[in-house]
Amino acid sequence: MKCPFCSHFESKVVDSRPTDEGSSIRRRRECLACGKRFTTYETIESLPLVVIKKDGSRQTFDRNKVLGGLVKACEKRPVPLGTLEAAVSEIEQQLQNSLNREVQSNDIGELVMEHLKKIDEVVYVRFASVYRQFKDINTFMNELSKLLSNHE
C-alpha cells in the first residue's frame, strides 16, 4: 500500500477490524519509511451484472428496479417493505453467486415470482399476470389452478 505522505510502497498493518456493516475491513497502517499512520478500507470487489432484456439490449442490473416492481405489485397488501428488501437482496445474491455475469431478464422475473409465491399469493398472481402477459382468462385460470394444486 502506497503511503499518502511519502509515497513509499511498504507499510505494516497496526490494527484491523470490520466496519459496522461488516461489508469492509478498516485497517490502520504504519509506513515503514516515514512512520506516519494512515487508514485503508478493504472491500470485496463485485463484478457488475448485465441484464439482457427481451429486445436483446443490455443494461446493468439495478436492484431498485426490482424493488420498484415488487412495491408496485404489493400495493394495498399487508407486505412490509423490509420483507421486499430482503427478497431483493436474496435475488441479487443468487445472481451474484451464479458464475454468469450476464443474466436474462426472464430469469430475474422467475426468481422474483419464486419469492413472491412465499411472501403473498395475491401479490404473486398480480405479478404473474403482468410478467407472463396473460392473454385471456384461461391462461389466468391455469396459473391459479397451479397455485391452488401446490397449496393443498
C-beta neighbour count of 74 within 10 angstroms = 21
**Grid cell listed for 117:** 409465491
**Grid cell listed for 97:** 453467486
Of all residues in the chain, what percent carry a pLDDT higher than 70?
A: 93
The total number of residues written for the chain in this structure: 152
Query: Does the pLDDT at position 135 exceed 70?
Result: no
Do 79 and 136 lie in a common domain? yes
For residue 1, being part of any structural domain is answered with: no
Residue 120 and residue 123: Cα distance in Å, rounded?
5
Prediction pTM value:
0.62
Q: Which residues of 34-49 are buried (b: 16+ CB within 10 A; e: fewer)?
A: eeeeeeeeeeeeeeeb
CA 9 to chain centre: 36
Do 92 and 146 lie in a common domain? yes
Do 82 and 35 lie in a common domain? no
C-beta neighbour count of 118 within 10 angstroms = 10
For residue 37, being part of any structural domain is answered with: yes
For residue 107, being part of any structural domain is answered with: yes
Query: Does the pLDDT at position 94 exceed 70?
Result: yes
Question: What's the structural domain count of the chain?
Answer: 2
Do 36 and 87 lie in a common domain? no
**Grid cell listed for 133:** 402477459
Report pLDDT digits (tens) over 138-150: 777 777 777 777 7
Cβ atoms of 40 and 29 within 8 Å: the answer is yes
Per-residue pLDDT band at 101 (split at 50, 70, 90): confident
Mean pLDDT across 66-79: 90
Report pLDDT digits (tens) over 12-40: 999 999 887 777 899 999 999 999 999 99
Do 54 and 38 lie in a common domain? no
Residue 45 and residue 134: Cα distance in Å, rounded?
40
Query: Does the pLDDT at position 152 exceed 60?
Result: no
**Per DSSP, what are the bridge partners of residue 59?**
51
Least confident of 32-36, 41-45, 51-55, 91-95: 41-45
Do 57 and 16 lie in a common domain? no
